[in-house]
Amino acid sequence: MPKTPPKKDIRKLDMGSLGRVIKLLFKYYPVMMPVVIVCIVLSAAVSSIPAIFQQRIIALITKHLGSAEYLAGDYAAAWNNAKGEIFKVIIILGALYIISIILITLYTQLMAYITQGYLSKLRIEMFGGMQNLPIKYFDQNKHGDIMSYYTNDIDTLRQLISQSLPHLVQSFIIVMTVFFIMIYYSVWMTLLILLGVVFMFYVSKKMGGGSAKFFIRQQASIAKTEGFAQEMMNGQKVIKVFCHEDKVQEEFDKVNNELYEDSRRAHAYANGLGPIIINIGNVLYVLAALIGGLLIVLKAPNLSLSGMAFNISILVPFLNMTKQFTGNINQVSQQLNSIIMALAGSKRIFELIDQKPEEDSGKVTLVNAIIDEDGNITESKTHTGKWAWKHPHGDGTLTYTELKGDVQMVDVDFSYVEGKQVLYDVSVYANPGQKVAFVGATGAGKTTITNLINRFYDIEDGKIRYDGININKIKKADLRRSLGLVLQETNLFTGTVMENIRYGNLDATDEECIEAARMVGAHGFISHLPDGYNTMLSNNGSNFSQGQRQLLSIARAAVANPPVMIMDEATSSIDTRTESIVQRGMDKLMEGRTVFVIAHRLSTVMNSDVIMVLEKGRIIERGNHEQLIEKKGTYYQLYTGAFELE
């Protein structure tokens, strides 16, 4: 039987993430947080002491009701006598209240500031950490799941920090103070109320557990409905074409009904909790009044810290304290769901933050270089149009190697998941300026090869050398800067056309960007846009056609001006007429560079210097177009249409 870890450990872990939330809170705000806590504690204490003043006032009233003046019917005189004492009490109370309001204003304002600051810092830390994660992480996790860290999970913390935590501290303090005041007046009555409170806790635990269970089920139901709706909304046109509307509606109603059931149960529990606690409070209130009354009537001996006898001046504040007590417990119980959700949310957030970042032990960097006639290389601070690899050695010396774009892969093995090898003994030699093409079915390993060259993934066995340098020694950012990338999926960013082109080289001037666009043939359509280069792209450039988007991404690569280009299925989602335009842009871009091309359409790769046919992770044929046709192998079959790539 497999050993399952004891449940206790899991729960501990959850509480751990809550602890970490709080620890971070103090780390980010080492001064403000203690101030807030002092404010909360003081104001909570102040708001729980009116019971004492009430008792004083009522005692004073009772005393003066027995005064000679009052009994004689001279009420004005009675009041005049009482006035001084009573106002003294009230003025002290008023002063305390003013302090309390100042404290409350201070800490609520501070908390608003802290909450948002905290979330912002956390968001920045999450995002920053995420930028440093390896591509593997993004390949393995659904984008929707990653997004939910930033939306759902962060939102649970907002509720926790701005509401639940202050409430918890406040309620705890109030309950403690009230408890001591109660003992001060009467132990017996306190015991009675404690009994009620224990009962309340019991009920909230039971009900809270039930509600948590159904809330989780409701969450799952919502996800299911969302998934179903997502699929159907996507296929709405197919549904119409097949007249399947009624059928789909039927299925939707089924899912919808499940959601209704779970949602009804979850809320029934949650709604019930409030009234139940409040009414247990009411019963307690009545019991307190009753038993207190009996104690007074029966003149039972009182046990208390103050040693006072039990009388009406104690009973009245006691009743109010009962309300206060139960009211606070109700408040805490209302925060339960939000605390449970925050526990889950913070756990996930820390999972993201704790992800291991991409490792980079590369020391070789890319620098601007001046190369003299003899081939001597010196480093330059300014842009020279020439680049060199700067190679620091263990003995402190520096050597420079010119950046040429020579890429050699020797006997490379690779697997994404251990035990499932995807590349076997792959060797590729690309001399500067050569065009190397990869052809093969989906899953044959074409994209994998390019993933290895720019070190999105690291090889298992074999060697990859770039201009003779092992790529593991090159700083990743510099390695990637020297490799241009055009992918099938054109990912553009919100911003202007100009900003999107400049993404390739942040130092490029407007003129350089326009020149790049002109070179790849994008200038024509851009200048026809209403705002030209200042036209805004939104939503991944959905206001542009696929071909236009691809041209922009080619221009982006062009402005980077790298010696090596990787083109991964850059034209496969474009129709053949548009392709010829894009192809011209790509041809321009490829001139004089080392290029790796992956393509579905053979027309794109035919003029390559070397074509590699890949099958199941192995190179099965290599040569140029003519050689491969002559061979009459797989490539030939592909070319004649006798064979299909999937």
Partner 1 sequence: MLKKFLKCVREYKKPTYLTLIFITTEVVIEAIIPFITARLVNGIQSGIEMSTILKTGAILFVMALSSLACGGIAGMTSANAAAGFAKNVRHDVFEKIQKFSFYNIDKFSTSSLVTRLTTDITNVQTAYMMLIRIAVRAPLMLIFSIVMAYIMGGALAGTFVFVIPFLVFGLLIIAKYAMPAFRRVFKKYDKLNESIEENVRAMRVVKGFAREDFEKKKFNAAAEDIRNDFTRAERIVALNNPIMQFCIYFNMIFVMAVGSYIIIGHKSGINVGELSSMLTYGFQILIQLMMLSMIYVMLTMSAEAMKRIVEVLDEEPTVTDPENPIAEVKDGSVTFKNVSFKYSHRAKEYALCNIDFDIPSGATVGILGGTGSGKTALVSLIPRLYDVEEGEVLVGGENVKNYKKHDLREAVAMVLQKNLLFSGTIAENLRWGNENATDEELAAACKMACADEFINSFPDGYNTYIEQGGTNVSGGQKQRLCIARALLKRPKILILDDSTSAVDTKTDAKIRESFKKYIPDTTKIVIAQRVSSVMESDIIIILDGGAVVGMGKHDELLKTNEIYKEMYTQQTNGGEQDA
The residues in 78-117 that bind partner 1, with binding defined as CB under 8 A, are: 78-79, 82-83, 86-87, 90, 93-94, 97, 100-101, 104-105, 108-109, 111-113, 115-117
264 near partner 1, rule: CB under 8 A: yes
Q: Work out whether 240 is an interface residue with partner 1 (CB under 8 A).
A: yes
Quote the CA–CA distance of 432 and 595 in Å, as a whole number. Answer: 9
| Distance between CA atoms of residues 522 and 532, nearest Å | 11
Stretch of residues binding partner 1 (CB under 8 A), selected from 15-23, 343-351, 477-485, 585-593: 477-485
Task: Please select the residue that binds partner 1; options are 41, 50, 466, 589, rule is CB under 8 A.
Answer: 50
Indicate whether 642 belongs to the interface with partner 1 (CB under 8 A). Answer: yes
Least distance to partner 1, CB of residue 376, Å: 28
- As measured in angstroms, the least distance from the Cβ of 44 to partner 1 is 11
SS3 string of 470-500? EHHHECHHHHHHCEEEEECCCCCCCEEHHHH
CB of 47 to partner 1, least distance (A): 7
Residues 266-295 that bind partner 1 (CB under 8 A): 266-268, 270-276, 278-280, 282-283, 285-287, 289-290, 292-294
Helical residues (DSSP H) of 445-573, grouped into ranges: 446-453, 476-481, 497-502, 510-520, 523-528, 546-560
> What's the min distance (Å) between Cβ of 188 and partner 1?
16
Under rule CB under 8 A, which residues in 299-358 are in contact with partner 1? 312, 315-316, 319-320, 323
Q: Which helix (H) or strand (E) holds 392?
A: strand 387-392
**The one among 575, 584, 592, 632 contacting partner 1 by CB under 8 A:** 575
User: Closest CB to partner 1 among 378 and 538?
Assistant: 538
Query: Quick check: 49 binds partner 1 (CB under 8 A)?
Result: no
- Residue with smaller CB distance to partner 1, 249 or 399: 249
The binder of partner 1 chosen from 39, 40, 449, 483 (CB under 8 A):
483
Pairing of strands 536-537, 407-417: unpaired
On whether the CB atoms of residues 542 and 491 are closer than 8 A, the answer is no
Return all residues near 494 (Cβ < 8 A) that are at least 6 apart. Answer: 536, 537, 538, 539
Q: How far apart are alpha carbons 70 and 431 in whole angstroms?
A: 113
Q: Of the candidates 35, 37, 58, 176, which one interacts with partner 1 according to CB under 8 A?
A: 58
User: CB 393 → partner 1: shortest distance, Å?
Assistant: 24
By beta-carbon proximity to partner 1, the closer residue of 26 and 75 is 75
C-alpha dist (Å) from residue 615 to 188, 540, 568, 588, 612: 85, 33, 17, 30, 10
Q: What's the closest the beta carbon of residue 13 comes to partner 1, in angstroms?
A: 27
Site map for partner 1, 602-631, x if CB under 8 A?
A: xx--x-------------------------
Go through 295-307 and write b for each residue having 16 or more CB atoms within 10 A of its CB, e for each that does not. bbeeeeebebeee
171-179, 370-378, 582-590, 594-602 -> range binding partner 1 (CB under 8 A)? 594-602
CA distance 144 to 149: 9
Q: Which is nearer to partner 1, 77 or 370 (CB)?
A: 77
As beta bridge partners, residue 470 has 465
Near partner 1 by CB under 8 A: residue from 39, 174, 193, 259: 259
Q: Which of 504, 563, 585, 617 binds partner 1 (CB under 8 A)?
A: 504
Q: Which is nearer to partner 1, 141 or 427 (CB)?
A: 141
Q: In the set 26, 140, 206, 236, which binds partner 1 (CB under 8 A)?
A: 236
Using alpha carbons, select from 194, 197, 192, 199 the residue that is nearest to residue 294.
192
> Residues 415, 418, 420, 426: is their CA dihedral positive or negative?
positive
Does residue 229 belong to the site contacting partner 1 (CB under 8 A)? Answer: yes
Given the rule CB under 8 A, which of 231-239, 392-400, 412-420, 587-595 is the region that contacts partner 1? 231-239
Does 16 help bind partner 1 (rule: CB under 8 A)? no
With CB under 8 A as the contact rule, which of the stretches 329-337, 413-421, 507-515, 545-553 interacts with partner 1? 545-553
Site string for partner 1, 548-567 (x = CB under 8 A): -----x--x---x-------
Q: Which residues contact 455 (CB under 8 A, 6 or more apart)?
A: 471, 472, 476, 479, 480
Residues in region 143-202 near partner 1 by CB under 8 A: 143, 146-147, 150-151, 162
In angstroms and rounded to an integer, the radius of gyration of the C-alpha atoms of the chain is 37
Cα(138)–Cα(149) distance, integer angstroms: 14
Site for partner 1 in 391-450 (CB under 8 A): 439, 442
Closest contact distance (angstroms) between CB of 592 and partner 1 is 20
Contacts of 280 (CB under 8 A, 6+ apart): 196, 199, 200, 203, 326
Which single residue is written with the structure tokens 């009490």?
A: 89
468 touches partner 1 (CB under 8 A): no
Find the binder of partner 1 among 372, 373, 591, 644 (CB under 8 A). Answer: 644
Instruction: Select from 232, 279, 274 the least CA-distant residue to 256.
Output: 232
- Sequence-ordered list of residues with C-beta below 8 angstroms from that of 26, at least 6 positions apart, any chain: 33, 34
Considering only the stretches 69-77, 507-515, 587-595, 616-624, report the one whose residues sit in contact with partner 1 under the rule CB under 8 A: 69-77
- Assess 464 for contact with partner 1 (CB under 8 A): no
Nearer to partner 1, 168 or 602 (CB): 602
Neighbours of 395 (CB within 10 A): 5
Q: H or E stretch including 365?
A: strand 365-371
572, 601 Cβ separation under 8 angstroms: yes
459, 485, 589, 595: which one binds partner 1 (CB under 8 A): 485
Tokens of 289: 């009044």
Total of chain residues touching partner 1, rule CB under 8 A: 164
